[in-house]
Structure 1
Amino acid sequence: MHPVLQRIYAARGACDDAAALLRLARLHPPAELGGIDAATALLAEAIAADRHIVVVGDFDCDGATGTATAVLGLRMLGAGRVSYQVPHRVQHGYGLSPALVEVLAERAPDLVLTVDNGIACLAGVAAARARGWRVVVSDHHLPGPALPAADAIVNPNAPGCAFPSKCMAGVGVVFYLLLALRRRLQDAGTFAGAPPDLAELLDLVAVGTVADLVRLDYNNRVLVAAGLRRLREGRCRPGLRALAEVAGRRLETLSTTDIGFALAPRLNAAGRLDDMGLGIECLLADDPQRAREYAAALDGINAERRALQQQMVDEADRLAAAVGLEQGAAPLALSLFDPGWHPGVVGLVASKLKERLHRPVVAFAPADEGADELRGSARSIPGFHIRDALAAVDAAHPGLIPRFGGHAMAAGLTLPLAHLERFGAAFQAEVERGLDAELLEQELASDGPLAADDFCRELAELLRAAGPWGQGFPEPVFDNAFEVLDCRELSGGRHLRLRLRASDGGPVLSAIRFGWDGVPPPARIHAAYQLEPDDFRERRDIQLLLRHIAPA
């Protein structure tokens, strides 16, 4: 292994072959997941009796890839009657809700399998059970004080579950459920020959896992690495190939960054502005031409989402500035609302402001045009658990928040419009109580400097192929002192292109700074950067992606 790559892996805790080499054979066994035996018994029985199984997914990328994984996997394992339903963000709300159960009744399911939702859907699960349906919950979200009365629950974060990897995405959980179901069916002698190869689904698992920003522990890194390998070799779903094409990404060099910033947003756009069914159909499509048509439609929706997002972020910036001016200083947390905002985009607004201001943010929009119910998305900074903060607000103010759920870094909630001001004050008080002021100091971790000989195409390609990089296993960032040979504005001054030379010598390097603040750099800078291949117009060069610039 290249010595720079050895250094990078060691800094992330991968100090030996066991931690650095990713092998599917070393995945944690599915049998360690709590509730897996009960869930597979119900699914095996439904398959044997040709019962109707309806997969209920979520309207984000994890939910879409998880739904497609479940539908395809169940069909591979012999299920003859499998369909899916994803709630509409406005019409049904989140997950298996009572409103969605009313819609499902027309399909007369025998068994409902939730994917990436269900652990917080107490009323919806109860409504489904009241109709005589079996309900299997597969989810990864943190449970509340009570669990749904499902026939089986598979969730690594459920009470009493001993599964070592607590940070699997929803698509990873349902993939594990399929692995365990295949084992049960195989032990029962169901397959005449070799059992179906569920590794064919790993491209979907990789995309959903990366998109959901879950921590890439060893188990998740194995899943993502295997899925990336299939994508790069072209052995992937036609829909994922088509999404890469419309996004201008090459499959053979696809990275987790490409998934996070190109493929996932196009899938997510359907659930934000339209119907996630379009995204799922793209993933399920077997015909490449049909997949390209779906991908083109998703690309168009994503363009609409980006324009709407920019408008909302600009408005949120003005609201945030007004709040700071009124209080004389920026508050520790922000709770923002605009009656014209779209509920499917407030999560992106909260994320953008959280990144810029480095503090917890909740953004609200009407659940529907003119509605008195609000949908909120919360985003947090490392070290402050946003879902636990909402739980603390709920405990201190019973009835204030009708519904909430989520993770340490992201959560969602519903709120009556009349409760907005009270919530803002209660949330601010909870952040002031629980947030250590030191967490507001932004840190940028570096893997140290590169030597002059390291600024080469070989290392750039190694870094792109290594990893996989993501939450908990971050993409390498280096820092060096440079001389600025020249620079010029790009895109009307929004970005900056530079030519640099390391202070200790070496080649002249091309660098780019996205989101430039308009301040010209000094003649000597200390920069944190990523080393990337530059394949623009087949030039096969390298460039530095500047993450931070300071005077040297």
Structure 2
Amino acid sequence: MSRITTRTPARTAFTRLTEAGTPPLLARLYAARGVENAAELDYELKALLPPTAMKGLAEAAKLLADTITAEEPMLIVADYDCDGATACAVGLRGLRAMGAKVDYLVPRRIEDGYGLTPSIVEQAALRHPKLLITVDNGIASVEGVATARRLGIKTLVTDHHLPGDTLPDATAIVNPNQPGCDFPSKHLAGVGVMFYTLMALRAELRTRGHFAQRPEPRLVDLLDLVALGTVADVVKLDHNNRLLVHQGIARMRKRCVQPGILALFAAAGRDPASATTFDLGFALGPRLNAAGRLADMSLGIECLVTDDARRALAIARELDTLNQERRGIEQQMREQAETMLSRMDIGEARALALFDPDWHQGVIGILAGRIKEQRKRPVIAFARAEGGLLKGSGRSIAGIHLRDALDLVSKREPGLLLAFGGHAMAAGITIRETDFARFARTFIDVIAESADPALFDPLLETDGALAMHEMTLEAAHLLERGIWGQGFPAPVFADEFEVEDQRLLKDQHVKLTLRKGDARFEAIRFRHSDPAPEQLRVAFRLSCNEYRGTQSLQLLIDEWEALREER
């Protein structure tokens, strides 16, 4: 159980925001999330950070422009997650609109592994490209880029992951996290980096008079894809990312989107007219990711690049079927993990490394995330790969940088990690199966020695109580339409109630009627079967419950704690 705590909004920021016309409820929420003035809530395109400060963009733009002018073929090498798929789709649509001859290749998760490996370069070479463009990968592909150079193929790396000690010897690199890059936002997703690359390319082509005989592409028409990839990759929603997501969702609500986006909404049973960040992260994103986890992400990319609405819908339905299959596999793996954990002496271990020979390599990242949420500590789950190897996928908690922790493991035990990469909250790793126990011990020790013990005291940070006049369906609608996500969490409130009625739904959800004074509220706690205490403090979110065409306010309960008897 997590302790319920309350964020404290900065008083001066709250005052500035309300004086600028921000509604008091939103001003309080924004001030508690570090927003200091109304300019940080300006989501118009004119407020987008300019590309000029991003290292490598000028060189990338010239490289792409030269290749387009020479009518030479390009090949995008994508990643097999939602960020990689949307980045690939943005690249394909944008480059083709500028006259490029461009196709794509996406590795298969299990057969090919991650990134621009030498074997992927050899596959790509069979298509005779003059330029390889990586999206959402490549910054760690030192050997792959070297292979391309030996084969006479130029490389443009576009990525957002943290680099290793050695950068690949690419023709050009665009990555806000590479050394010497002064771009103010370090949190762009891979799709955001590709979008910026297209902006720089369009500017370069303008100077060359390229659009004198052809229409200049509207890159804003790609922002639905940018929004989806940004939210699904769970990057920090700083101002620049919130702007990109806001613009993309605004287009979704007007149905000014790619046919594949509309098809994904339809397959998920969601209405794009009321699109939210929740829809992108928990409805559309998982359906795209299912292709990369269980099949081939080419299926997801084709959904995003086709202009045939019927074909897009057919693919989206196939993705939905894959996602249902993924859910079944995930449930089985979770049950196996729980059985495993029940037999382990976890003790004071600050991290977990788990392995089962039957686990599916495409689902271990989700499993790690579920166990991390439940156990409130970093988790790496492993599955078998070929050649006596294990592939691991890890998820971390706030305050523990997972990739940096793995870097410490690699330095402490040279040769233990055959490959690793990622960022603060997620990482991938390859080890020998025979080294699993040694890795687990070392990983747990590194986390225990380097992490602040306070990070493991489970807290649920809330925005405190709402006034009764704010506990409304209108407030729920207002909040649902906000741009919330990683680093800018959706509002969770906390207050004290008495339980007037409760019952168990489907043996797994607690449905309640809560009372505060003369006011009564319907509430539900999903995936929780223990009865609620009669008097309790609740952490909850405002939501709209729709039943037979009628909407009503419902509190979604994240956590509760019993009040002391004297109360």
- The interval holding the TM-score normalised by the smaller chain is over 0.9
- 1:122 aligns with 142
Q: Summarize deviations over 1:63-111 as a string: whole Å, max 9, x none.
A: 00000010001011121x1100100111111011111112112111110
How far residue 321 of structure 1 moved from its aligned partner, in angstroms, is 2.2
- 1:345 aligns with 363
- C-alpha distance in structure 2 between counterparts of 1:252 and 1:180, whole Å: 31
Which of 514, 530, 551 is equivalent to 1:540?
A: 551
Which of 74, 85, 110 is equivalent to 2:105?
A: 85
- C-alpha distance in structure 1 between counterparts of 2:440 and 2:242, whole Å: 38
Mapped pair 1:52 → 2:52:
no
User: Contact (CA 8 Å) 2:510, 2:531: kept in 1 or not?
Assistant: no
Q: Summarize deviations over 1:405-427 as a string: whole Å, max 9, x none.
A: 00011100111112212111111
Partner secondary structure for residue 157 of structure 2: strand
Residues 330 and 539 of structure 1: is their aligned pair in 2 closer, same or farther, counting only changes over 3 Å?
farther
How far residue 263 of structure 1 moved from its aligned partner, in angstroms, is 0.5
Q: Summarize deviations over 1:355-414 as a string: whole Å, max 9, x none.
A: 00001111100124xx41111011111111110010011111111111100001110011
User: Contact (CA 8 Å) 1:74, 1:178: kept in 2 or not?
Assistant: yes
- C-alpha distance in structure 2 between counterparts of 1:40 and 1:299, whole Å: 37
Structure 2 gaps of 5+ residues are 1-21
Which of 363, 372, 393 is equivalent to 1:354?
A: 372
How far residue 528 of structure 1 moved from its aligned partner, in angstroms, is 0.7
How far residue 542 of structure 1 moved from its aligned partner, in angstroms, is 1.4
Mapped pair 1:222 → 2:236:
no
**Structure ranking higher on relative contact order (CA contacts 8 Å, 6+ apart):** 2
- 1:29 aligns with 50
* Residue pairs, 1:251-290, within 5 angstroms: 251-290=272-311
Partner secondary structure for residue 109 of structure 2: coil
Mapped pair 1:445 → 2:465:
no
Mapped pair 1:173 → 2:193:
yes
- 2:486 aligns with 471
How far residue 330 of structure 1 moved from its aligned partner, in angstroms, is 4.8
User: Contact (CA 8 Å) 1:278, 1:294: kept in 2 or not?
Assistant: yes
Which of 488, 507, 525 is equivalent to 1:513?
A: 525
How far residue 39 of structure 1 moved from its aligned partner, in angstroms, is 0.7
Identity of counterpart residues, as a percentage? 48
TM-score normalised by length of structure 1: 0.96
- 2:537 aligns with 526
How far residue 264 of structure 1 moved from its aligned partner, in angstroms, is 0.4
Mapped pair 1:104 → 2:124:
yes
- 2:11 aligns with none
Structure 1 gaps of 5+ residues are none
What amino acid maps onto 2:282 in structure 1? F
- C-alpha distance in structure 1 between counterparts of 2:336 and 2:348, whole Å: 17
My pick for the range that moved more, 469-478 or 6-15, is 6-15
* Residue pairs, 1:37-76, within 5 angstroms: 37-76=58-97
* Residue pairs, 1:127-166, within 5 angstroms: 127-166=147-186
Aligned residues: 541
Which of 364, 368, 393 is equivalent to 2:382?
A: 364
My pick for the range that moved more, 16-25 or 383-392, is 16-25
- C-alpha distance in structure 2 between counterparts of 1:524 and 1:250, whole Å: 38
How far residue 209 of structure 1 moved from its aligned partner, in angstroms, is 0.3
Partner secondary structure for residue 210 of structure 2: coil
- C-alpha distance in structure 1 between counterparts of 2:144 and 2:233, whole Å: 24
User: Contact (CA 8 Å) 1:452, 1:505: kept in 2 or not?
Assistant: no
Q: Summarize deviations over 1:131-176 as a string: whole Å, max 9, x none.
A: 1111000000000000001000000000000111001100000000
Mapped pair 1:184 → 2:204:
yes
- 1:421 aligns with 437
Partner secondary structure for residue 553 of structure 2: strand
What amino acid maps onto 1:513 in structure 2? R
User: Contact (CA 8 Å) 2:223, 2:248: kept in 1 or not?
Assistant: yes
What amino acid maps onto 2:531 in structure 1? P
- C-alpha distance in structure 2 between counterparts of 1:367 and 1:170, whole Å: 26
How far residue 535 of structure 1 moved from its aligned partner, in angstroms, is 2.6
Q: Summarize deviations over 1:475-513 as a string: whole Å, max 9, x none.
A: 01111111212112112x211111122x2433x221110
- C-alpha distance in structure 1 between counterparts of 2:390 and 2:278, whole Å: 32
- 2:412 aligns with 396
Partner secondary structure for residue 445 of structure 1: strand
- C-alpha distance in structure 1 between counterparts of 2:463 and 2:238, whole Å: 19
What amino acid maps onto 1:499 in structure 2? T
What amino acid maps onto 2:430 in structure 1? T
- C-alpha distance in structure 2 between counterparts of 1:357 and 1:255, whole Å: 28
How far residue 194 of structure 1 moved from its aligned partner, in angstroms, is 5.8
Partner secondary structure for residue 540 of structure 1: strand
- C-alpha distance in structure 1 between counterparts of 2:548 and 2:454, whole Å: 45
Partner secondary structure for residue 291 of structure 2: helix
Partner secondary structure for residue 387 of structure 1: helix
- C-alpha distance in structure 2 between counterparts of 1:351 and 1:12, whole Å: 24
- C-alpha distance in structure 1 between counterparts of 2:339 and 2:136, whole Å: 35
TM-score normalised by length of structure 2: 0.94
Partner secondary structure for residue 502 of structure 2: strand
Q: Summarize deviations over 1:173-211 as a string: whole Å, max 9, x none.
A: 000000110111112211127621100000000000000
What amino acid maps onto 2:32 in structure 1? A
User: Contact (CA 8 Å) 1:156, 1:163: kept in 2 or not?
Assistant: yes
What amino acid maps onto 2:484 in structure 1? W
User: Contact (CA 8 Å) 2:497, 2:514: kept in 1 or not?
Assistant: yes
* Residue pairs, 1:494-513, within 5 angstroms: 494-501=508-515, 503-506=516-519, 508-513=520-525
Partner secondary structure for residue 462 of structure 2: coil
Mapped pair 1:410 → 2:426:
yes
